[in-house]
Every structure is written in structure tokens, then in C-alpha cells.
Amino acid sequence: MKNFGIQEALSQLGVRKKNPGVSTGRKWYKSTGKTIESFSPVDGRLIGSVTQADEKTYQQVAAKAVEGFREWRKWPAPKRGEVVRQVGEALRKHKEPLGKLVSYEMGKSYTEGLGEVQEMIDICDFAVGLSRQLHGLTMHSERPLHRMYEQWHPLGPVGIITAFNFPVAVWSWNSMLAWVCGDTCIWKPSEKTPLCSIACQNIVNEVFERMAVPEGVSCLVNGDASVGQWLSADANIPLISATGSVRMGKAVAKTVSERLGRSLLELGGNNAIIITPNANLDIAIRGSLFGAVGTAGQRCTTTRRLIVHEDVYEEVKQRLVNAYQQLAIGNPLDPGNHVGPLIDKLAVKAYEDALRKIKKEGGDLLIKGGVLEGKGYESGCYVKPAIAEVENSFSIVQQETFAPILYLIKYRTIQEAIELQNGVMQGLSSSIMTNNMREMELFLSAEGSDCGIANVNIGTSGAEIGGAFGGEKETGGGRESGSDAWKVYMRRQTNTINYGESLPLAQGIKFAI
């Protein structure tokens, strides 16, 4: 199998065969934790390894994050923004090798890997502007000669737990905003993609050392679920931002809530596109296709359900079947391929289990799917994207299967379509394909989509960093990235100043001695 310059990319990023997995920004720590080996789903080869954090080393890193916060919060926000600007410039310099590593270690296409690094660059640019806009409000006091206002202060060390499917972008969404807000960060990446975290830490370390950023502002603790548990239970970490499964999110939320900390949760998605008779079907098919098979169905915003009006159902079905038959599946670093591998063989097993459950519940597989074998598929992680006609009530349809399986569901009225769209426990992303203004406005109204993201005439995936990203229900309710998502990384303080010579009390209370 072609190498596509992987070794050169690893060298440029400072990723070695054996890497320490723990850092406080100025130094790398040796720990007694187990070794985590990273095998590429592209070809099954060992890329490299990292050493997991043990509990003692974690405590050392956490202490450095607390210590670093005391100094970092004193830096003016625009100066912190300048540091993030320099990180963005370093990412531009390393965009191609980092995008290549993302593709090779995670399995998404190279163009998607480059897109993920571009997201990092974009959030840097956004955060730089934000560093001069961390503004509060002024309010009129009911008392004479009093002034009221609110301001936002740095919150403290932020714990960031990320998933394998976006091994670098989600960390950047959190860290770049947290840094300009004056927080320090402790990143616990997925143990399935540890080398991406090493590359990012190397890039940031070089910038931070050059700009004399305090140690502890950017911390990295590689490891399994136990490291995430230490982070979640740490009373010195006021905010835990966790991205992953609903099961993981519930565990994090329970642990954090027991110490009355804050959780920012980005969990499962079961996203649907409604295709109405008033849709431009060329746009609808294209949006549905990328939404369903992009990243091999391993995005939290992947299109899992197509809710199609009965008048256009057969045409949509046939066009999708034809499109699926033209998909090229193979090495994601090869620009001629549309679909790469699943992350590992556990994901393949979940995919096969889902196909069996579809049949068991009475679904009809239009594109049967299956695991690919032979030359180019030696890793055992390549599968065929599948399409199934189902009912929304099927238990397997109610679940999120992280694989390229698309469910087709028929509807008659727009109200029925919206009920089907909302009829799952997840509430991340949604879309409607229509040129009818009334359908569009109903979908976007309070009685329409119950998701955190609702799109018109675009698919469910591919969110821009300018908008707040997140969802409702079992998706967790968190918001990251754009808009005013920065506020979760800060604490609000209300201030009242009496500049008079008497002390009137609020609500007209009289208190005299």
C-alpha cells in the first residue's frame, strides 16, 4: 500500500515511534502508566505509541495547570489573543502534515483531514477577535447614585475530553476560547488517536516557549477512561468539556455534578434530513450523500435518517442507490476514494450488529453493505455504506450507530415529518430540503425541529465555527465554538458601586439604629 508521505509528516510534527504522553507545555513527563499503541485503520500498521498518565503524574500536571492559571489570568486578554494568533500561524505552517496524520490515524479522507485543521485555524482567528470583546453589560440601579454592571472573569483550569472522530478540531474549539478567556487547559484525548495530540502539543509548545507563556497553560494527559475519571472528579477543575458517547457523557456529568462543577457535553446524534416535494433534489441528494458517508459515518452530525415525502420517495431512493454504487472505498489518503475505514474492528462489529438488527426488526436493505476484504483492505476496517428502508420506531433506528448506515423513512404531511425528526432521544443536527417558505419557517419555529442545529437546503454535517455548536436532549445541551459560547469558560460577576454619601437599601427597606 502506498505510504503517501506519512513518515515525512510524522517527522515534521515531531511524532516518534515512542512518545511520552503527558506534558505541561514546557516539559514532557515520564510516567509509569501503560503504553498505548496506535494502529492505523488505513493499513493496520503500528504508527507509534504513547505512555499513559499514571495518577501521580496526573496530579502533578493538574497542579501545574492551577499554578499556571494564577499567572495566565493576569495577562491582558488581547495579549492572550496574540498568543492564539501565533498558534494559528503555526497551524497554517503545519496544515498539510497534520491533516495527513489526522487522516492516517483516524481514517477520514485527506481532504477532510485538511478541513479539520482548517477548523482549528478558523477558531484561532475567531478567538483572536474575541479577545477584545469579552464584554459584559451595564444596568440601571433602582437606588440613587449607584451604578450596576457585570463583568466576566477567567474561570480556572478547564478539562477537555475529546473523541477519536475529530481528534484535533474539538480540542481547539475548547482550548482557543479557554485560553483567550484566561483559563488553562488539560486535554485528555481519545486513546484511539493519541498521536494527533502529540503533534498538536508539539506545535503549541514551540509557540508558548517563544512567547514565554507560563507552564501549565496547555497540558496533555493521554490515557484511558481512568484518566477521564480523575479529571472529572478533580475539584480544582471547575469545567469539564466532554465529547463522545451518551454513556460516557452521563458518567462524566454524574461525577462532575457530585462536586457541583460545570459540564459542557457534546454527545450522540441521530440526525435527519426531511426531503419535501418542494425540494431541489439535486441539492438534496448531494447533501444526503456526503452527510451519510462522509468520515465513513463517524461524525456526530452524520445523516442517519432520511425522512422523504411519499411523492418523491421512489425517485430519491433510486437516485441514492445509483449514487452509492459509484462510491470508491479505500485508502483515505488517495484523493480518488470517497470513503475510508472505520476506526477499528470494534466499530466494524457494531456496524455488522446493526445490519443484523435491521433485518431482525423487518427492515429492507436496499444496499446491503458488508465488510470488504482483499488487497487494500488488510486492516479489516473497511465497510460498504448501506441503505435500509425502516420504520422510525425500530429500536436500531433509535440508536446511534457510528457507521455509514442510512435509514429511509416515508412521510405524508410536514407535521408528521417533523414528529418523526424529533422522535428520537438525541437532538444535535437536523435539516429540511425545501423551496417552500412555509415549510421552512415551520421547521425553524418553536414547534419545528427540537435540535440545537436546524438547517435549510444544506445537510446535517459541516458546521461553521461562527455559530454555537451543540444539541439538546441526550446530546447533552452544551455549546462550543462560535456565537457567545465563550461565556461557559468564564465566571460572571455582578458589580454595584455606590458613589453617593448615604446608604439606601434595595427594595426600599428601612434599617435604622
**Over the stretch 200-256, which tens digit does the pLDDT of each residue have?**
999 999 999 999 999 999 999 999 999 999 999 999 999 999 999 999 999 999 999
- Which residue among the candidates 266, 439, 474, 480 is catalytic per the annotation? 266
pTM beyond 0.75: the answer is: yes
As given in the structure block, the three cell numbers for residue 351 are: 456496524
300 catalytic? Reply is yes
Nearest to 208 by CA among 240, 225, 227, 184: 184
> Average model confidence (pLDDT) for the chain?
97
Confidence check: pLDDT of 3 > 80: no
The whole-number average pLDDT for the span 154-176 is 98
Residue 313 — very low, low, confident or very high, per pLDDT cuts 50/70/90? very high
381 catalytic? Reply is no
Query: CA separation (Å) from 384 to 89, 338, 370, 374, 406?
Result: 38, 11, 5, 14, 11
Confidence check: pLDDT of 283 > 70: yes
Rounded to an integer, what distance in angstroms lies between the CA atom of residue 245 and that of residue 161? 11
Q: Which pLDDT does position 4 carry in this prediction?
A: 81
- Which residue among the candidates 181, 196, 219, 300 is catalytic per the annotation? 300
The whole-number average pLDDT for the span 24-34 is 91
Residue 512 makes CB contacts below 8 A (sequence gap 6+) with none
Residue 2 — very low, low, confident or very high, per pLDDT cuts 50/70/90? low
